[in-house]
Amino acid sequence: TQLLEQSPQFLSIQEGENLTVYCNSSSVFSSLQWYRQEPGEGPVLLVTVVTGGEVKKLKRLTFQFGDARKDSSLHITAAQPGDTGLYLCAGEDAGGTSYGKLTFGQGTILTVHP
C-alpha cells in the first residue's frame, strides 16, 4: 500500500500570511491531485499535476510536483479567510493500470483568521 504523508497536519495563520503544505511519499506517482474540502461537503478538485517538475498556478495557489514524482507542495500567497478548509493530496499509483484508484494523504486543516 502506498503512503502519502502530509505536513503540517494543522495550520493556523493570520490573513495575508503565506503558507506551504507538503505531501511526501517514498513511492512514485503517475499523477497527483490536490483537493479542498469544507465541513459537511465532499472534496473538490483544485488541480492535477502529471509531469515531474511541473508547476501550476491557480490565482494565489501554486502547486508543484517533484522531479521524481514522489512529492508535491501547495503554496498559498496572501491567505484569506475564504481559504480555510481541509486540503488533501492524493496520488495515482505509477505501477500498472490504476483504474482511477487514489491514495490520499491525511489532510491539512488550514484556518485563516481575519
Partner 1 sequence: NAGVTQTPKFRILKIGQSMTLQCAQDMNHNYMYWYRQDPGMGLKLIYYSVGAGITDKGEVPNGYNVSRSTTEYFPLRLELAAPSQTSVYFCASSYESLPDTQYFGPGTRLTVL
Closer of 30 and 80 to partner 1 (Cβ): 30
CB 6 within 8 A of CB 89: yes
In angstroms, the CA 55 to CA 93 distance is 20
96 binds partner 1 (CB under 8 A): no
Question: What is the total residue count of the chain?
Answer: 114
Interacting residue with partner 1 among 42, 82, 96, 114 (CB under 8 A): 42
64 binds partner 1 (CB under 8 A): no
61 binds partner 1 (CB under 8 A): no
Q: Is 35 exposed, middle or buried (0-12, 13-18, 19+ CB in 10 A)?
A: buried
33 binds partner 1 (CB under 8 A): yes
CB 68 within 8 A of CB 28: yes
55 binds partner 1 (CB under 8 A): no
Interacting residue with partner 1 among 11, 21, 25, 31 (CB under 8 A): 31
CB of 82 to partner 1, least distance (A): 20
